[in-house]
Amino acid sequence: MTIDTAVRHADALLGRRLVIVGAGSRIGRRLAQTASAAGADLVIAGPDTGRLEATAATLAGPAAVQHVDLADEDSIAELAKTAGSFDHLVSTASMPANGPVAELELADVQRAFSAKVFGPLLIAKHFAGQAADGGSCTFLSGVAAWRPSPERVVMATANGALAFLVQALAVELAPLRVNAVSPGIVDSGAWDGLGDRKDGFLRGIAERNPARRTGTPDDVVNAVLYTLTAPFVTGHVLHVDGGARLV
């Protein structure tokens, strides 16, 4: 699907400069692969340069690799300096702080908000003035904001805050477009820690979803590419959850 998707978006991405924060994740890597196959000029960033180098090795074209920590403003400013003028920026970053409220550590909560709220806000601060005409920023939210569950209070709140942040940024930074994509349960590697219970967990999610399946990284990539290439879409949260928030 990566090649087919790349072909569909080649006209919009060929020669465009795309910054991907979180390109070491499975979804970020798939996005980088698709954009590179479509002819985009990439800057890939994240906290683990080893994973970024692994992503770069799978790409059709070259990519600049840059360390960034969304909890560190100087790091974000340095990434903006390295990236220079850009067409589109995407952040897939996530640093969950899950667990009972009574056991939460403030430092973990702050890092979770750095990935979803403080970091995106600082990205906007340092990158907005460098965007080319028709440029955009897209951030990943998540279904937990609309379907909260026990021990996911921080995840729900951070993702919900991001949904409101993109609306505010879309107004202030116009005509730069700012959107969010909100995935549901996606088999992106995040659930591998369940071990033998993973298949049963995903099967249960699929049975409850109106779409009757769980998501794939390509589902999310397709949604992100839509926000990048739809010039009349801004301040929007695109739900890619199989209808999970409805049931």
Q: 4 pLDDT exceeds 80?
A: no
Contact 17, 41 (CB under 8 A): yes
pLDDT digits (tens, 9 = 90+) for 13-32: 999 999 999 999 999 999 99
Q: pLDDT tier at 3 (50, 70, 90 boundaries)?
A: low
Find out whether 242 and 209 touch, Cβ atoms under 8 Å. Answer: yes
pLDDT in tens, 60-108: 999 999 999 999 999 999 999 999 999 999 999 999 999 999 999 999 9
Nearest to 183 by CA among 153, 227, 122: 227
Contact 5, 221 (CB under 8 A): yes
Number of residues written out for the chain: 247
Helix (H) or strand (E) segment spanning residue 144: none
> Which CATH number is associated with domain 2-240?
3.40.50.720
Which residues contact residue 21 at a Cβ distance below 8 angstroms, ignoring those fewer than 6 apart? 28, 45, 46, 68, 70, 79, 89, 90, 91, 92, 93, 119, 123
User: For residue 6, what pLDDT is reported?
Assistant: 59
User: Is it the case that residue 190 has pLDDT exceeding 80?
Assistant: no
Distance from the first to the final alpha carbon of the chain:
29
Partners of 67 in the β-ladder: 46
Nearest to 40 by CA among 63, 66, 8: 63
For residue 213, pLDDT over 70 is answered with yes
pLDDT in tens, 31-70: 999 999 999 999 999 999 999 999 999 999 999 999 999 9
Write down the number of H helices and E strands in the chain.
9, 7
Which backbone phi and psi does 140 adopt, to 5 degrees?
-95, 120
Residue 10: its pLDDT value, please? 65
Question: Which backbone phi and psi does 88 adopt, to 5 degrees?
Answer: -140, 145
**Position 178 confidence tier, pLDDT thresholds 50, 70, 90:** very high
Question: Residue 187: what pLDDT?
Answer: 86
Secondary structure E strands in 141-203: 177-183
User: Among residues of the chain, what percentage have pLDDT more than 70?
Assistant: 96
- Domain ranges in the chain? 2-240
The tokens describing 208, both together, are: 């409850």
In whole angstroms, give the CA distance from residue 171 to residue 53. 36
Q: In which band, very low, low, confident or very high, does the pLDDT at 8 lie, cut at 50, 70 and 90?
A: low
CB atoms within 10 A of CB 122: 19
